């Protein structure tokens, strides 16, 4: 996340993700913006560490794919 455009792209992707997966988006926000580690975020959300780890892996992959699609769209225009 080097530029303001990158942060805007992430915010837009996270907004789309939150519409589909609100609990997982909460985990991402706790990890990325609040700075909690996985165990702390799991405790805050009332989920097991194993669930938080699965959700984190899924969320990172989903967001990565969304950001890659966005980069492809920018390259084509």
Q: Tally Cβ neighbours within 10 Å of residue 9.
A: 19
Say if residue 72's pLDDT is above 70: no
Say if residue 12's pLDDT is above 70: yes
Domain residue extents for the chain:
4-76
The pTM of the full predicted model, rounded to 2 decimals, is 0.83
Provide the CATH topology of domain 4-76.
Answer: Arc Repressor Mutant, subunit A (1.10.10)
How are the residues of the chain apportioned to helix, strand and coil, as percentages rounded to the nearest 5? 85, 0, 15
Q: What is the mean pLDDT of the chain?
A: 91
Residue pLDDT, tens place only, 32-62: 999 999 999 999 999 999 999 999 999 999 9
Whole-number pLDDT of residue 55:
98
């Amino acid at each position: 996340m080097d530029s303001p455009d990158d942060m805007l792209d992430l915010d837009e992707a996270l907004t789309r993700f939150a519409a589909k997966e609100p609990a997982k988006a909460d985990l991402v926000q706790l990890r990325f913006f609040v700075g909690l580690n996985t165990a702390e975020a799991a405790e805050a959300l009332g989920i097991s560490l194993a669930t938080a780890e699965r959700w984190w892996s899924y969320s990172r992959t989903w967001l990565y794919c969304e950001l890659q699609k966005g980069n492809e769209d920018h390259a084509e225009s």
